[in-house]
Structure 1
Amino acid sequence: MIQEKTPINGISRVDTNAPVIEVKEIYKSFGKNEVLKGVTFSVNKGENLVVLGKSGSGKSIAIKCLVGLVEVDKGEINVFGTDITKLDNNELNKIRVRIGFLFQNAALYDSMSVRENLGFTLKRHAKDLSAEEVENQIKDVLESVGLSEAIDKMPSELSGGMRKRIGLARTLILKPEIILYDEPTTGLDTITSREISELILEIQKKNKTSSIIITHDMPCAKHTGDRIIILKEGIIHAEGTYEELEKSDDEWVRSFFI
């Protein structure tokens, strides 16, 4: 059953109760450093899950495990119903192409224009597209992030907020079903951070994406998250909505909301 949630800025939040990601008891160590200690969580179709935690709590490692960039020592990671821990690299790549990853620094190629950055990404995965189709898709995705005028700019000519938007455009051009955001508002001013948070919600509504958002930015967490989990020393210490966790009896949990 689809449950409509309270609209935020006119955007209706939807929970379909259908997990697209199920992580079960994953463990990961680097030498004697135990980073993940039996982490279990799920993400429903169309849901934005925010992951909070102090530095070193395992947040970034957890999402890298979801796309096979880091191999777990033990546990199960079901993505679209398939346990990716049992896949070879070719099978894993078929899953990865359905997942978008927005890195902290947007990871643009500095020697390429915006058009070339987006075209390079698209042509790597859709080799049969004509030049006209590539150009149309580039223009469409730039319009969706509000930066049509930046098509011929170089990354060095872009502000931090614009780089984030172009990085997001490069993720969206492959039409992912899941998006992993790693600190999407880091280094941005308050107004630009709010704009990126609103864009995350617009993408959720328009493309029906499921997302995991790692952030230290509490306004971003409040604005974008349908649900929040908090990692502490490699385990999930708390889970709930922003409002529930803000009122937690646990002093450590409440410290995130001060």
Structure 2
Amino acid sequence: MIKEKENIEKDKAAKTKKQDPIIVIKDLHKTFGKDNKVLQGVNLTVNKGEDLVILGRSGSGKSVTIKCIVGLIEPDQGEIKVFDENVLNLTKPELNEIRVRIGFLFQSGALYDSMSVRENLAFTLKKHKRDLSAEEVESEVMEALDNVGLSDAIDKMPSELSGGMQKRIGLARTLILKPEIILYDEPTTGLDTITSREISELILDIKHKRKTTSIIITHDMACAKLTADRIMVLKDGVIHAEGTYEELEKDEDEWVRSFFQ
């Protein structure tokens, strides 16, 4: 009986931990120009350790939402809490402290063309951790590259890398600061089916190894199916539907189901 009670308490604790919100967005609005209302009251919560996929047609505000989270775009209205901090009220130094804990993988990988892979990663690391020795920087660079399976590309230039390799290096550069949250903006765009799956599996592997929390913006339904703990669908500037891949695939709403066909 005592053991059974202990198991119940453990289950409760596990559920509580699972529902521990790390990102909370309330009533987020953003309009560009006079009447291009992209976000019209987005509400979402991402729990610690969760991979949330956001789907939506082009221009629906998916990328705008995650750029608001890190302060790359300033919303017109709403609240964004990350690590229990309202990022919209933070000073620039305070926002930079939050940003170091959040990795952002851009669609292009955003590598510096004039720098080698080693220099790209080292530059990012030294910018935020100035007290590291040359040996420590080298060790961190090698570890990050090892995590994405590209240690042998350390001295290559971005122009020498395939699209898939550039994505992996971009991810390594994101991982080098050991972020707690990673925001993926179309991580498999422009890649062939096999490479797309490799990137999706890498996202899943990073989650399990690093215990990260992620938001993944994607049009790639294979990526969504493989990585998502939960999916939200944006339509007309608001969250239109929410559920697991399997739940939304069978949703009564024909528009929602259209993503899964």
TM-score under structure 2 normalisation?
Answer: 0.93
Look up the SS of the partner of 2:75 in the other structure: coil
Q: 2:60 & 2:210 partners in 1: Cα distance?
A: 31
Residues of 1 paired with 2:62 and 2:19: CA distance? 24
Please say if 1:76 is aligned against 2:79. yes
Q: Alpha-carbon deviations, 1:42-78, whole Å to 9, x = none?
A: 1000000000000010101000000111111111100
CA distance in structure 1 between the partners assigned to 2:223 and 2:257 by the alignment: 17
Range moving further from structure 2, 66-75 or 209-218: 66-75
After superposition, give the CA deviation of every residue in 1:213-237 in whole Å (9 maximum; x if it has no partner): 0000000000000000000111111
1:26 is matched with 28
1:67-100 Cα deviation digits (max 9, x unpaired): 1111111111000001111112111111111000
Query: How far apart, in 1, do the equivalents of 2:162 and 2:116 lie?
Result: 14
1:47 aligns with 2:59: no
- Structure 1 unaligned segments of length 5 or more: list them: 4-14
Task: Specify which of 14, 28, 52 is matched with residue 2 of structure 1.
Answer: 14
Name the residue aligned to 1:58.
61
In 2, Cα distance between the equivalents of 1:183 and 1:154?
A: 23
Structure 2, unpaired ranges of 5+: 1-12
Q: CA deviation at 1:211?
A: 0.2
1:100 aligns with 2:103: yes
Structure index of larger Rg: 2
1:83-133 CA deviation, whole Å, 9 max, x = no partner?
A: 111112111111111000000010001111000000000000000000000
Aligned to 1:137: 140
Length-normalised TM-score, structure 1: 0.94
2:156 to 148, 153, 157: 153
Q: 1: distance between equivalents of 2:137 and 2:58?
A: 40
1:239 is matched with which residue?
242
Q: Counterpart of 2:65 in 1: which secondary structure?
A: helix
Please give the alpha-carbon distance, in whole angstroms, between the structure 2 residues aligned to 1:204 and 1:150: 23
Residue of structure 2 in register with 1:12 after alignment: none
Instruction: State the 4+ residue runs in structure 1 displaced beyond 4 angstroms.
Output: none
What is the alpha-carbon distance in structure 2 between the residues aligned to residue 184 and residue 220 of structure 1? 9
TM-align CA RMSD: 1.1
Cα distance in 2 between the residues matched to 1:95 and 1:143: 26
Superposed displacement of residue 207, structure 1? 0.6
Tell me, what secondary structure is at the counterpart of 2:111? coil
Return the structure number with greater helix share.
2
Task: Report what 2:195 is aligned to.
Answer: 192
Partner Cα separation in structure 1 for residue 144 and residue 58 of structure 2: 33
**CA distance in structure 2 between the aligned counterparts of 1:167 and 1:50, rounded to whole angstroms:** 20
Match of 1:183 among 172, 186, 192: 186
- CA distance in structure 2 between the aligned counterparts of 1:133 and 1:193, rounded to whole angstroms: 32
CA distance in 2, matches of 1:202, 1:2: 21
1:130-150 CA distance string (max 9 Å, x none): 000000011111111000100
Counterparts of 1:182 and 1:190, CA distance in 2: 18
How far did residue 33 of structure 1 move?
1.1
Paired amino acid for 1:39: V
Residue aligned with 1:93, SS = helix
Shift of residue 249, structure 1, vs aligned partner:
0.4
How far apart, in 1, do the equivalents of 2:114 and 2:41 lie?
42
Q: Describe the SS at the equivalent of 1:69.
A: coil
Amino acid at match of 1:22: V
| Alpha-carbon distance between aligned partners in 2 of 1:76 and 1:177, rounded to the nearest angstrom | 20
